[in-house]
Amino acid sequence: MKISIGFMGLGIMGRPMAHNLLKAGYPLTVWNRTAEKTAPLLEAGAKAAEDPRKVAEASEVIFTMVTDGPQVREIALGPQGIIHGAKPGAVVVDMSSTATSAARDIAQELAQRQIHMLDAPVSGGPEGAAKGSLSIMVGGDENIFRQVLPILQVLGGAVTYVGPQGTGQLMKLCNQIACCLNILGMSEAFALARRAGVDLAKVREVLMGGAADSWMLRNWAPKIINDDYSPGFTVANFQKDLRNILQESAELRVS
């Protein structure tokens, strides 16, 4: 029988990720702060729980995919949190993007109840979440990582163990620095070309053929060319990531 899984946070990323776990045959218990978002998963065979504690009681491996560190802390350690329902030996896999300090602090408190935690943020956007092709960067105990690796491989095409607790989140900050600069560079290049009357499809073709090629050009540039600005990530979330980058940089004295 497959490992029982809990999944909390069924937003633009979490819902397709949870669907992929269901399609892979894992028994799934879900919770979301906005309960109606669980409906598509319940129709697909998942069970609903009334709070994070109940999810933890039903699960051996528990995923969280929410906005920020305070939300992860509340779900993990709050009055109806994971810590009050998970059995010793359970594994919490937090796929949210948080500060490294939050990842370490929450893991330390869970460890006092013999509950393991991995920080495992992702990159790849809603498309990667739907296709199961996310890049997943993992921090925590390597033995625990190897235990849950087959589950992570359902969600991601590139699953990388980075190092001790918090280093998964540190890698995500590095990823966001590079992503931010790529988006800015691509946007400025397109703005210049558009003002000059150059066909943006040709701009993309040329840039992809040389050293300026990037994931952003291959995946997001077509949306810009077609004036498709449907969101895949919120400005507020990117601002949160940038604040975490500045905080980490200040602590490490690299800014």
Residue among 147, 129, 11, 117 nearest 56 (CA): 117
87 as an active site residue: the answer is no
Is residue 46 within 8 Å of residue 18, measured between CB atoms? yes
Catalytic residue (choose from 23, 172, 202, 223):
172
User: Can you tell me the distance from the alpha carbon of 138 to that of 53, in angstroms, rounded to the nearest whole number?
Assistant: 24
> What amino acid positions are annotated as catalytic residues?
172
